[in-house]
Amino acid sequence: MAKELVDCLGRRRSPATTSAFHVGRPPRNRGMRYPADPPPVEQIIAVMRAAGAGAYGDRLRGVMVVCRRAGLRVGEALALGRPETVSSEWETSSRPATSQR
């Protein structure tokens, strides 16, 4: 009889969480390609025109150009959080400092 898998709280775990469960099986998505689905150029130009004038519009247009050149989709760009972004030396951080022991 197989030993029942439990987590640290005593709840049952699925056998699929073990490293030996999928040994010898190819991945289900092996060989599948997901083509990029970028927005058409006309749509990008329309959004850039709607960004408006001034510093905020310039910044938005710059972010759109960087995302387009990096190949990010809209959902991927919106999903970026603080840890994934590059922080500058002069930028203040809202995260608490680590304690020095």
- What are the residue boundaries of the structural domains of the chain, listed by start? 37-72
pTM of the model: 0.40
Looking at residue 82, what is its pLDDT?
Answer: 62
Looking at residue 22, what is its pLDDT?
Answer: 84
Report mean pLDDT in 10-residue bins for the chain, 101 residues. Answer: 78 85 85 76 84 87 83 74 57 56 53
d(CA 4, CA 38): 47
**Residue given tokens 């990096």 in the structure block:** 70
The dihedral region occupied by 52, where left means phi > 0, alpha psi between -120 and 50, and beta the remainder, is left
Q: DSSP letters of 11-63?
A: -B--GGGSTTTTTTPPPTTTT------PPPHHHHHHHHHHT-SSHHHHHHHHH
Looking at residue 5, what is its pLDDT?
Answer: 82
Looking at residue 96, what is its pLDDT?
Answer: 57
Looking at residue 27, what is its pLDDT?
Answer: 82
d(CA 36, CA 18): 33
